[in-house]
Structure 1
Amino acid sequence: MSVKLATPGVYIDEKNAFPSSVVAVPTAVPAFIGYTEKTTRNGQSLVNAPVRISSLKEFHDTFGRGFIPSFQVRENLSGEGFDFEVGGKSYDVALEAKSRFLLYDSIRLFFANGGNACYVISAGSYYKKVEKSVAVVDPKDDKKPAEKTKVQVTQANAITKSALEAGIEVLRSEQEPTMLVIPEAVMLSKEDCFALQQAMLKHCGLDTKSRFAILDVYDGHSARTYDNKDVITSFRENLGNNYLNYGAAYYPWLRTSIVQSEEVNFSNIANKEFLVEILERETKETIGDGKRAEELKVEIRKIKDDNVNIESLSQTLLMSSGVYKAILDSMRTQLNILPPSAGVAGIYTAVDNTRGVWKAPANVGYASVVTPAVKITHEDQEDLNVTISGKSINAIRTFVGDGILVWGARTLDGNSKDWRYVNVRRTLIFVEQSIKAAARTYVFEPNTPNTWLLIRSMINSFLSDLWRQGALVGTTPEQAFQVEVGLGTTMTADDVLDGVMRITVRLAVSRPAEFIVITFEQKVQEA
């Protein structure tokens, strides 16, 4: 800027010696979409409203806690796979349909594995109010015909594809999230699950090009059958072929320790009358008909009392009934089977914060997990990792001495040499978005060599820092990256006349050593 010189004196004219800098954008900010206990805050709806949180406490304060699931105790007529026996009969504990929501437990798994800041989008509440017609009898005249009246009752909501898709749509207006996770996608029908996962990939690879989808395998708690009902084959055939390098899938589901023993008790059993009957039968078998048995039966019958102290009675039953303990263990085991995507998002976050987004998020321990739901061997993983379709599935495996590890780092585009690895795709997203945000400073600046020099210097400085941190490969910066901008190299005279500035950036992104081959050869003994 020129200084107006009119009055005699000394004038100061400061000039910037350095170009603007590229500020690194966040790389590990997942967005979770799912159902929550609370859907309002301060009178405002939270449905389809992205909320940023950074701890489990913030989730509790804003969205509440988990859904209270309902189970049925029933006789097992097959005599196989039962949970307990009483009087020579087998019984199992079954989770009722529409009695499971996964977001809350998945968020807990995310924070347990290194998760930090994230966005949560509520797709709706666990419950909904519906009107039902009931017959009301006049207490003063029981001979009078009952009159029907409508009352509001609360019942469990249904997880729908449209509600979860609406969450994806509102996420387009948010700039910060870099990952997309929808754990409850696997609770939909198979067709709706795959349609939603395709929408996730489209959102990441077309609508924003700045996010990465972490997917779960439908029915991923089941072992492979290698036939037309095989869970991996079904996943690959139904996922589609678009935007695959913007997502990764993990298998199998996990048996976790997220749900603690104190979170389940007899109040989770829907058919309490049957539960009381079974526990009384057990008491007769183990204790008999004495005074102690009658005292215990009195306690057992309190299960049907709505005003009983649940915690105290549950502890009493635990100390006196092996069947009751088996029922609680079964409920907890079923609730602790979770899809891995949220925990993987936590691992991405931990690796990004400690090593950088360019480090492959693999060979990393999985916290709060007892065991994978399916045991995967070396041979089993061959088809998961390398397949004709290229849709690689990352395995979660158990290794003696190392525990449970994420043992794969491929995107769903495993046949692409450009985008085969998760860290390469995410590193490019990071570099692209960082440079894009910095280049916005130069919009409407003169399209001249001076501006080109400033932009090139700015990008060179940013990439040099990444090279020194190990994100780019090369013994010198010139081998690791190249930045070109200017007339005759990236632009023509027509480009300048049209107001177009073209910048070309070439990168040598580090790739993981996925296969380490060690050759041993015997050497002849020397004299």
Structure 2
Amino acid sequence: MTTSAQAPGVYVTERPSGVRTIVGAGTTTAAFLGYTSTADHENPDQALPPFTEAERVVPQRVRGWKEFADRYSIAALAAQLKRSEQVPETETEEEKKKRLREVHRLERCLVLAEAVYGFFANGGTEAYIVGFLKPEDAVGETALGGDADLRTGLDGLLTVREVAMVAVPSLWDMTVALPADGSRPEPDEPVGKTLIGRVVQHCVTMRNRVGIFEPPDGKTPGQVESFVNTGLPSSGDDAAFTTFYHPWLRTPGVDGIQRTAPPCGHIAGAWARTDIERGVFKAPANLNLRGVLALRSPLTDGDQGRLNPLGVNCLRVFPGQGTLVWGARTRSTDRDWVYLNVRRLVSFLAESIRLSSTWAVFEPNDERLWATLRHSVSSFLTDQWRQGALFGRTPEEAFLVKCDRDTNPQTSVDQGKVTCDIWVAPVRPAEFVHFTITQITGQPGGTG
């Protein structure tokens, strides 16, 4: 833009620099999939109206606990649960079965609420909720996968690129329907592992998000060891995008009634808190979990010694420190993807570069384009190195960007392809810190 000087004074001319910057992608948004239901008596005075059933089955963004509670009828569902738990003076056996089945149905709805509350309590700021409307029924692999056109299930999240973590708090409830006799069924582990596989498949396809899971509640460390060693991959992409946490939590309850909850929501919030305070390159561990009364089964060093090599991240209680996340591994045994922060960092780098490089589409595929891409990516990675995300004394040791005639031979240019090869050296967590202490037992005596 040129400004003509008509009178004495100072004039400023703005010109485009031609520099293409890369902006870091978001990593703190979670997606939760679980049972939800409209309530019999909604509160007309609440700030936001509840979502309809048609709205609940597609991804809905919420930015805080109050918004979630209003939109998903939590107060009304809690009141309905309290009424259902009251035993009438006269109750037939059939009425008792029906009432208990209703109690379990409503409790299944509050599992999602406990997870979302834990997410926001631990530092989360934004989440997407995908609901399933029949808590009394099981959810199969196909139903969990959903429909991309209808935007239901996991496929409804295909267009929500900002999601960086996926949790299914209701997963073990989803494995089995509520029986008519009013009993509480045990989860079906083979079905649960199938559902876990479907979630992991979604994460591997998207490559910018990681799944957060937990074994069924009540398992001993030995049973957890057997659980993860049977039917769950420990190598390849599936394992690299999978995390497990153990044990389950005792929480105050969103309705003031203490209950057991899966840790996935609290963990997702702790991931978000770490990303905000330190960065996605920092291992999300050694963090105090908020909104937790106790662990369902406290673990020892020996228990952790069995589970840590299997990629099961333990939750521990240490004197004076509360409940801590004491592990940050994926399920992978591949050297490059053992650590969760490395997997998430590489996903963050790839997503950031992808989103900020769309300008290159349809540009002339020549040396000028290659140089611009090299400069943009190198500048971005230099910033990441300065923040501590990459290992090395200098940027040259931390990363390498190559986009030239070698990576783009004429055959690729003729096909309209641009290839930019990037090597990075992520920082890895210091899991085992060793100190050597040598005692000096005596001093040489003086002479003279």
Same fold (TM over 0.5): yes
Question: What is the CA deviation profile of residues 308-331 of structure 1, one whole-angstrom value per residue up to 9, with x for unaligned ones?
Answer: xxxxxxxxxxxxxxxxxxxxxxxx
Amino acid at match of 2:356: A
Residue of structure 1 equivalent to 2:137: 158
The answer on 1:62 being equivalent to 2:71 is yes
2:376 pairs with 429, 438, 458, which one?
458
Checking the alignment, whether the CA contact within 8 Å between 2:85 and 2:103 is kept in structure 1 is yes
- Give 1:96 shift: 5.9
- Give 1:158 shift: 2.2
Residue of structure 2 equivalent to 1:76: none
Amino acid at match of 2:35: Y
Checking the alignment, whether the CA contact within 8 Å between 1:351 and 1:359 is kept in structure 2 is yes
- Give 1:430 shift: 0.5
Checking the alignment, whether the CA contact within 8 Å between 1:109 and 1:258 is kept in structure 2 is no
Checking the alignment, whether the CA contact within 8 Å between 1:108 and 1:258 is kept in structure 2 is no
Query: Over aligned residue pairs, what C-alpha RMSD do you find?
Result: 2.5
The answer on 1:117 being equivalent to 2:126 is yes
Residue of structure 2 equivalent to 1:346: 269
- Give 1:231 shift: 3.4
Question: What is the CA deviation profile of residues 231-261 of structure 1, one whole-angstrom value per residue up to 9, with x for unaligned ones?
Answer: 3312331324561101210000011123454
Q: How does 1:320-359 map to 2 (within 5 A)?
A: 332-333=257-258, 336-359=259-282
Aligned counterparts of 2:437 and 2:396: Cα–Cα separation in 1: 36
Residue of structure 2 equivalent to 1:23: 23
The answer on 1:186 being equivalent to 2:172 is yes
Aligned counterparts of 1:450 and 1:223: Cα–Cα separation in 2: 60
Instruction: Give the share of equivalent positions with the same residue, in percent.
Output: 32
- Give 1:461 shift: 1.1
Amino acid at match of 1:16: P
Q: Summarize the Cα distance change of 1:72–1:106 in structure 2 as closer, same or farther, 3 Å threshold.
A: same
3-state DSSP of counterpart to 2:323: strand
Question: What is the CA deviation profile of residues 90-115 of structure 1, one whole-angstrom value per residue up to 9, with x for unaligned ones?
Answer: xxx99965452110121111111111
Aligned counterparts of 1:382 and 1:42: Cα–Cα separation in 2: 45
Q: Summarize the Cα distance change of 1:499–1:372 in structure 2 as closer, same or farther, 3 Å threshold.
A: same
TM-score (normalizing by structure 1): 0.68
Q: How does 1:326-475 map to 2 (within 5 A)?
A: 332-333=257-258, 336-386=259-309, 391-413=310-332, 415-475=333-393
Q: Summarize the Cα distance change of 1:464–1:435 in structure 2 as closer, same or farther, 3 Å threshold.
A: same
Amino acid at match of 1:383: R
Residue of structure 1 equivalent to 2:436: 519
3-state DSSP of counterpart to 2:364: coil
- Give 1:61 shift: 2.7
3-state DSSP of counterpart to 1:33: strand
Aligned counterparts of 1:216 and 1:43: Cα–Cα separation in 2: 30
- Give 1:410 shift: 0.4
Checking the alignment, whether the CA contact within 8 Å between 2:33 and 2:167 is kept in structure 1 is yes
Residue of structure 2 equivalent to 1:256: 251
Residue of structure 1 equivalent to 2:208: 210
Residue of structure 1 equivalent to 2:107: 100
- Give 1:525 shift: 2.5
3-state DSSP of counterpart to 2:35: strand
Amino acid at match of 2:320: G
- Give 1:16 shift: 3.0
Aligned counterparts of 1:424 and 1:231: Cα–Cα separation in 2: 25
Aligned counterparts of 1:259 and 1:60: Cα–Cα separation in 2: 9
The answer on 1:231 being equivalent to 2:224 is yes
Question: What is the CA deviation profile of residues 387-444 of structure 1, one whole-angstrom value per residue up to 9, with x for unaligned ones?
Answer: xxxx41000000012111000000010x221001111100111000000111211011
Whose strand proportion is higher, 1 or 2? 1
Amino acid at match of 1:165: G
3-state DSSP of counterpart to 1:46: helix
Number of matched residues? 383
Larger radius of gyration: 1
- Give 1:346 shift: 0.5
- Give 1:524 shift: 4.8
- Give 1:159 shift: 3.9
